[in-house]
Structure 1
Amino acid sequence: MDIKHGTNKFYFGDDPQNPDGELTYLPDDMNKLVIDSVVVNKDLRGQGLGDVLLDAAADYARENNKKLVGECPFVAKRFDEFPEKYKDVIFAEA
Structure 2
Amino acid sequence: MMKIEKHDDGKKGYFKLLDDEKQVGKMTFTWAGPNKFIIDHTEVDPGYKGEGLGRKLVKAGVDFAKENKLKIIPLCPFAKKIIEKNAEFQEVLA
Aligned position for 1:9: 14
The count of aligned residue pairs is 87
TM (norm. structure 2) is 0.84
TM (norm. structure 1) is 0.84
- Whether 2:89 is the aligned partner of 1:86: answer yes
Give the Å deviation of 1:81: 1.8
**Deviating 4+ runs (over 4 angstroms):** none
1:35 counterpart SS class: strand
| Higher-strand-fraction structure | 2
Structure 1 CA distance, aligned partners of 2:90 and 2:60? 15
What RMSD in Å do the two structures reach over aligned CA positions?
Answer: 1.3
Gaps of 5+ in 2: none
Aligned position for 2:49: 45
1:46 counterpart SS class: coil
Gaps of 5+ in 1: none
Match of 1:21 among 12, 25, 45: 25
